[in-house]
Amino acid sequence: MAAEEASAGKSGFSDEELLLACQRGDSGALPEIIKRHENGIYTYLRRYTRDPVLAEDVFQDTFLKVHEKIGQYQAGRPARPWLYTIATHQAVDALRRAKRRQGASLDQSRDRSGEGGDGARMGDLIESREESPTDRLDRQEQADALNRAIDSLPDLYREVLILAYFQEMKYQEIADVLGLPLGTVKSRMHAAVGKLSELLRPAQADGQPASPALQPAGVKR
């Protein structure tokens, strides 16, 4: 209860100020960070791991690691990429452990239900308006096709698309999260969008609804 009350008093703080407060031992700072970022980071982890159960475990590990590494946070560094860097590292480690433990493809644990926010994100690329049931069905078909196409990409392309398309990160933020040069992120994004176009083209040729715009909405050069 005390931690919740302390967190409630932090609502006016920036994320960066909260991380610095964590360093000073402020018990209310980390709960406020978690409250602000839990939905975004969990959705990102679920898509990254393709497994909602594993994503939940990684989510818990992420904020344990944030607590452990809080002394390494440097004042002035943007908080969001720092948090997502930790989340990505935890996801990579968890997937490696799962592969060793299961000895089987992670494809069996993909979550393609579209629940929990991903479908809404997909809809942002299509003009918002009053829709008929047919319009909604067409849009869902577009979203499903794009989800399947993204899931089928190699990880080096999939991860930049997830961060740009779903987490709405800029190129520099993606570079910070993945620990890559800015030029590498840009080239991977260009290649990812090209491969995505190729994957979606057969569906369009078969008379399926046209896919949404492929340029990730959050990317700014």
* Extents of the domains making up the chain: 1-111, 113-221
Contacts of 115 (CB under 8 A, 6+ apart): none
Residue 18 pLDDT level (bands cut at 50, 70, 90): very high
Burial class (CB in 10 A: 0-12, 13-18, 19+), 31: middle
0.75 surpassed by pTM: no
Distance in angstroms between the alpha carbons of the first and the last residue of the chain: 44
d(CA 34, CA 70): 14
User: Which residue from 199, 190, 148 is spatially nearest to 171, judged by alpha carbons?
Assistant: 190
Q: Which residue has the higher pLDDT, 221 or 97?
A: 97
Question: Helix or strand or coil: residue 62?
Answer: helix
**CATH code for residues 113-221:** 1.10.10.10
**CATH code for residues 1-111:** 1.10.1740.10
8 Å CB contact between 71 and 42: no
Residue 167 pLDDT level (bands cut at 50, 70, 90): very high
Q: Is pLDDT at 34 greater than 90 in this prediction?
A: yes
Amino acid, res. 91? A
Amino acid, res. 208? Q
Amino acid, res. 60? Q
Share of the chain above pLDDT 70, in %: 70
Q: What is the mean pLDDT of residues 118-134?
A: 42
Same fold, 1-111 and 113-221: no
